[in-house]
Structure 1
């Protein structure tokens, strides 16, 4: 009954949003209340989970979202993203741009929190989309989503990758060897498949895109005109200088992550590498650059637009965390633990498939890739000794499954929707689809590892 009620809650939320046109915040609260009460969590505990989940998510990503959105607003006002997109298109070509983006996200940036990645990369996706064709926005959105999560689960020091390796006593050296291949291969293959899907008439811009809910027509119509205007601004700093508010935080966060990974971190390095501190440094740099380029009036106008966007994103992100917290209270992980223990002596491919299924179900239920990966690794780790399969193969299967079909019970889903400029339906057709595809595409690769390792 627990799995049934969880399914009803998630399907009900999607139906309320897509069919009944209920606001996502209201639909998510209704789904959370139903799930908590139907599964016996109780009235008081359900409310506590909803409020606690909201607070936990805000403590984790609230400042990251706020600082990141403001950085994006300031750099957009200066024309930095339009310049960057023009350079990328000229350098790799519009056709290859999605593959360049997904490869970079899955190999270079896994040291960065996924929330930071989407905050910093979304403006590039929105700017580049119209420049590479009428299916450009969904293709770039799909490339971004699959790149972020393929790196997150397979490539060290992605949080999910490091967590699985640690919980299952897999050496990081072995994980790095396999993960650095599986991550980008999964991302690029998934983007190739998704591009073919988009050619079928699958994408409906009028229903799937919401470039700017405040000014949906103006922004898209004037995108190219803005690019021309930017080139005429003699006060705008060079592109490399404009991008320093993004590059410096990436270096700070990445340096802190590697320092921790290799055991030479201390308080000062941890402070400098903290994502909140790094993004505040980026915000301060963007603010100073914008003041110099556009003056106080232009800077305040850009900040005002950023604050307007931030409020909506914070609310819906927090409510997404509330649903995840209610699901965690139901005890679904205990049911799945019994399932794997019962089949501990299964053949190699069956064991890999079962590990993948457990992680995928946990992700569908909980809504967090990292929590699903950690929970699945915690469930399977104790029985690894009784399974005649290489631990690295089981660990990679957990990583692959934990990526499966990120959807409405994830706070990241709502961040992605708002930042990239999609409707709920459009986000399901991009982020949910590419993470499901990436998970399925990577599974045969993991099975090959299991047969060879």
Structure 2
């Protein structure tokens, strides 16, 4: 089969997937499988080869990242139930002061808090940010809204154990320790630079309180149709299942026509049941130890040092299991068995949809690889050129504008370019970071993050387009500009 036919059919498969999601409101999981089957049949894989690629891709990526996602989500659910986020925000305000609060918030949300399911994170952190906003000076509300948006979205795709970062590592075969180190190196300057740029814009007359702010209405959740990158992406597109992936009851219309949603699963921490007040270091310590073990394993591997015990402990599954067991122990001591049981229920509900979507994303990526697209594109690229990274960024950006899902866009774009990496010698982690960066571009009204920030922080739609859409898009551009020089040393 000619190269042109394979390229054309790959483009058709991707566009058809987008069309099924956007135009016909078909569930993203079904749409991705349809796209993968079409590509396999039209690229000459045959019936057996197509089924093998679809099912094998699904199983391979879940074997790689399934337990990691489950352990991360469960740890985050327990920290939520323990009230750790509210206490951390209060500690940041005391430690960083008003001027540094937006920057501290962006970095913390983008790194330490990525184990927390993002809907839950925003529902808890947004009211706290609203109370902090008047204390940080001029334009406090939009600055805090921008910091939350940039930190939450960047962390998802760059920082392990963020859902997108773990999925990208699985699709591209990137060691999780390497993804953790590279993501940390990228996410911190990205969120700081993007937050600084937005601060300058907001303080120079770009924010108009009379039209960019409005009264807060209830505990708003997502509108019908989409969660963007920020919830399990089975509900990412219009009509993809509705409601919040975290179990919310969905949107209701108040008497004045404003959106109002009553979250069901996003409940307040069981503060009344606390028996012991543990320090934040103790609460977050087990998870941080797990991440440090993963990072240590990556460093030792790069240095060529063999240490069997540490090698075992630094295996991502083992390290995150240690973090989960430790978190279970400290939360159980402080809050009792009932809190642990409730957190496990929340975690299993949230992780199930994430795992399904991640698996079918792997199906499409494997089918694209088996179709031979990597060899074709490899003839036009070389490892010392920026073209592959810019291409994956652009593909992810276009897909995100069309679909509205950060995770789907990143996985699909990475799947298109994944076969190129071994052909031209390009590090797969760079493709993962570039795909994540592109998928951040133009977060808009199909994103659950957009509507959570709009409702919970008292912004108008116009205001949220400024703080969330523009702010995260700036972070997307900053990230790819930082990734390009990183490619010279990785």
Counterpart check, 1:249 vs 2:290: yes
Structure 1 distance, partners of 2:276, 2:438, is 45
Query: Which digits, 9 at most, give the CA deviation of each residue in 1:405-447, with x for residues without a partner?
Result: 238xxxxx9xxx8999989xxxxx9999988755644566688
Structure 2 distance, partners of 1:430, 1:60, is 35
Partner of 1:31: helix, strand, or coil? helix
1:251-270 alignment, distance < 5 Å: 251-270=292-311
Q: Which segment is superposed worse, 210-219 or 40-49? A: 210-219
Alpha-carbon distance change, 340 to 26 in structure 1, aligned in 2, over 3 angstroms: closer
Out of 25, 39, 46, the position equivalent to 1:42 is 46
Structure 1 distance, partners of 2:345, 2:410, is 34
Query: How big is the alpha-carbon RMSD for the aligned residues of Structure 1 and Structure 2?
Result: 5.2
Structure 2 distance, partners of 1:281, 1:303, is 16
Query: Which digits, 9 at most, give the CA deviation of each residue in 1:263-283, with x for residues without a partner?
Result: 223221111111111111121
Out of 124, 128, 133, the position equivalent to 1:131 is 128
In structure 1, the partner of 2:193 is 189
User: Runs of 5+ in structure 1 lacking a partner?
Assistant: 110-116, 153-157, 167-171, 345-350, 383-393, 408-412, 424-428
Alpha-carbon distance change, 263 to 99 in structure 1, aligned in 2, over 3 angstroms: same
In structure 2, the partner of 1:119 is 115
Alpha-carbon distance change, 397 to 68 in structure 1, aligned in 2, over 3 angstroms: closer
Deviation, 1:402, is 4.9
Deviation, 1:449, is 9.9
Residue pair 1:129, 1:138 contacting (<8 A) in 2 also: no
Query: Which digits, 9 at most, give the CA deviation of each residue in 1:201-232, with x for residues without a partner?
Result: 7xx97535547333453449987xx47x7388
1:62-81 alignment, distance < 5 Å: 62-81=66-85
Alpha-carbon distance change, 271 to 211 in structure 1, aligned in 2, over 3 angstroms: same
Partner of 2:439: helix, strand, or coil? coil
TM-score, normalised on structure 2?
A: 0.62
Structure 2 distance, partners of 1:252, 1:321, is 27
Deviation, 1:334, is 1.9
Higher helix share: 1
Structure 2 distance, partners of 1:231, 1:295, is 12
In structure 2, the partner of 1:347 is none
In structure 1, the partner of 2:356 is 315
Residue pair 2:39, 2:368 contacting (<8 A) in 1 also: yes
Query: Which digits, 9 at most, give the CA deviation of each residue in 1:239-262, with x for residues without a partner?
Result: 221112322212222222222222
Deviation, 1:36, is 1.9
1:157-168 alignment, distance < 5 Å: none
TM-score, normalised on structure 1?
A: 0.66
Alpha-carbon distance change, 399 to 372 in structure 1, aligned in 2, over 3 angstroms: same
Residue pair 2:122, 2:452 contacting (<8 A) in 1 also: no
Structure 2 distance, partners of 1:140, 1:274, is 31
User: Runs of 5+ in structure 2 lacking a partner?
Assistant: 131-140, 161-165, 213-219, 228-243, 251-260, 400-408, 454-465
Structure 1 distance, partners of 2:353, 2:186, is 36
